Amino acid sequence: MQEKDGSYTAVESIETWQRRREHILENVCLVMGPLPDQARDTAPDYQLLEEIDTPRYKRQSIRYNAEPGPAVTAFLFLPHQQKETRPAMMCLHPTSSLGKRIVAGEGEKPNRNYASELAERGYVVLAPDYPGFGDDVDARKGLYEAGYVSCSMKGIWNHLRGVDLLASLPQVDPQRMGCIGHSLGGHNTLFLGLFDTRLRVLVTSCGFNSFTKYMGGDLTGWSHDGYMPRIADIYGSDAANMPFDFTEVVAALAPRTLFINAPLHDDNFEVSGVRDVIDSATPVYALYGAQDALHIRYPEAEHDFPTKERYEAYAVIDEILSK
């Protein structure tokens, strides 16, 4: 670990790693911009827009405040028979014009309906739209006008406020919360977990590889206004210039439980780059004695979250959040 005075310190203790983790967060913010300096001691206000009743749960369409910047439209799933507080999950959607609707089972592609499936298993679920998708299709302009330098940081803030909302609900045990996402939702799960340590279990599907292995190190796909424009403007869309990588992001989640679905034929996140990230993160998990908290699957699939791996992820979530 390089210290601010230029010297190097070996990361051989949890205390030293925690200092290194702070450096990682600082470097992430160099690219994404700072987390808003705004109090979060109260849950965000929200408005009920619509409610649909199903045999297993109510699905509410809500809009919650996430200032600074535009509000967030989301689905809130509330299971029936609320006799005691329940665990809760944030469910972050993949890239789709449908936004949150795709994780509610309304998309054309299979294997994306993890919000409705988790609600059927008894979880309170919040599935927000990411800026630019679903009902928040016009939100990107507003977030940059509000002073954000990346959509990624506004996404993190929106999701942090979503966790605040879940934690405030009388149906939810705030000590039993997690997050799951595929593709866009897969890396947004990692970004949220980086900044919100309340989340005890994280599930990422087709969400990352090392920047050096992403499209041969060309990060143009990460640099548009839906992600981090500074990647192009400051770092030339070159992985070699980046102040952070997913090798560090994933390591910084230790010692919390992390389930990774990394298909062998994912043409977006090439699998050897996923293995590089896991190889870098494993020693940090070992530092905590938490090697068993890493759950990795490499299915014979393309950019997908197959049923087998998805239900294995649910089993891990059940195990962690049942306690």
- Please tell me the distance from the alpha carbon of residue 130 to that of residue 139, in angstroms, as a whole number: 9
Going edge to edge, which strands form the sheet with 257-261? 46-53, 57-64, 72-79, 124-128, 86-92, 172-182, 201-205, 257-261, 294-297
- pLDDT at position 198: 98
End-to-end CA distance of the chain: 35
Sort strands 124-128 and 172-182 into parallel, antiparallel or unpaired: unpaired
Which residue, among 166, 103, 165, 89, has the nearest Cα to 133 in the 3D structure? 103
- pLDDT at position 243: 97
Cα angle at 179 between 274 and 256, to 5 degrees? 65
- Alpha-carbon distances of 64 from 127, 129, 166, 222, rounded to whole Å: 12, 11, 11, 27
- pLDDT at position 3: 58
- pLDDT at position 96: 96
Q: Full-prediction pTM beyond 0.85? A: yes
- Please tell me the distance from the alpha carbon of residue 294 to that of residue 281, in angstroms, as a whole number: 9
- pLDDT at position 12: 83
- pLDDT at position 46: 97
Q: What is the mean pLDDT of each run of 10 residues along the chain (323 residues)?
A: 60 92 97 94 95 97 96 98 90 98 94 98 98 96 95 98 98 98 99 98 99 96 98 97 97 98 98 98 97 99 98 99 91
Q: What are the DSSP calls for 165-196, one per residue? A: HHHHSTTEEEEEEEEEEETHHHHHHHHHHHH-
3-state class (DSSP) for residue 247? helix
Which residue, among 92, 83, 82, has the nearest Cα to 189 in the 3D structure? 92
- Please tell me the distance from the alpha carbon of residue 278 to that of residue 286, in angstroms, as a whole number: 12
Distant-in-sequence contacts of 48-53, Cβ < 8 A, 24+ apart: 49/73
Give the torsion sign (CA, 71, 72, 78, 82).
negative
- pLDDT at position 323: 84
Strand ranges (DSSP E) for 83-241?
Answer: 86-92, 124-128, 172-182, 201-205
87 prior amide bond cis, ω within 30: no
